[in-house]
Amino acid sequence: MEERLHKALARLGIASRRHAEDLIRQGRVTVNGRIVTAMGIKVDTEKDMILIDGRPLPLPAPLIYALLNKPKGFVTTLRDPQKRPIVTDLLKDISVRVCPVGRLDYDTEGLLLLTNDGDLSFKLQHPRFKASKTYEAEVKGRPAKQAIDYLRNGVIIEGRKTQPALAKCLRKGEKSSLLEITIREGRKRQIKKMCAAVGHPVLNLRRTAFADLKLGHLAPGQYRLLHPEEVGKLKNYITLQTQGRQDAKNG
């Protein structure tokens, strides 16, 4: 089956889509003996001879989808100049190279998906697919209804209003409260900035859901592989988001 070259490289786990595009632009990819620098070319990985830097593509690794409860004190980059612990260090029984889908801050814990499925990873992170992310945020103080309404309707951070979010208070205490917030954006440190904007800085932050995945009862530092049904639901989630955008456009 033919598909665009950069998508094929991502699907095979060779590189992310963006990295694959860079490889093509740099003239490092040949198809049937010809250097390819255009993005639109279509290939059939079972029939075409594709080389990167003169070497044939490695046999595709089995696709791995791991759900990790990221603890605090780990970074979601694969290389850290400060030599801090990396989330992939926790995947003791996975020998295949996988990458985090999105990011969580060093001091944030919770659900993190890691995979070598470059195509799915790209779609789950791309703004146009609007993958939802749900967080439990312990914040300072007791937010009033007006503060919750601001979070729902959008607040100004860094000169730009956030998109509408789902927000509710799960618990109120004397010194801190627990909020549940669901967003479909991916702006850097967005939850922390939103809460600070309404006067209730975040004390602790945990992601509990991502797209159709839920954290469940995994302890911090533990992970599990997704069931095939869960992978199917993730792909169906992307399909439904795509159809929704198309229907809205046509409407």
Q: Which of 22, 48, 80, 105 is catalytic?
A: 105
Buried-exposed string 155-171: b where 16+ CB fall within 10 A, e elsewhere: bebeeeebeebebebee
Of 187, 128, 121, nearest to 157 by C-alpha is 187
> Catalytic site residue 105?
yes
Of 132, 112, 123, 133, nearest to 239 by C-alpha is 123
Are the C-beta atoms of 115 and 62 separated by less than 8 Å? no
Of 208, 228, 210, nearest to 218 by C-alpha is 208
CA distance 83 to 117: 26
Return the active site residues: 105
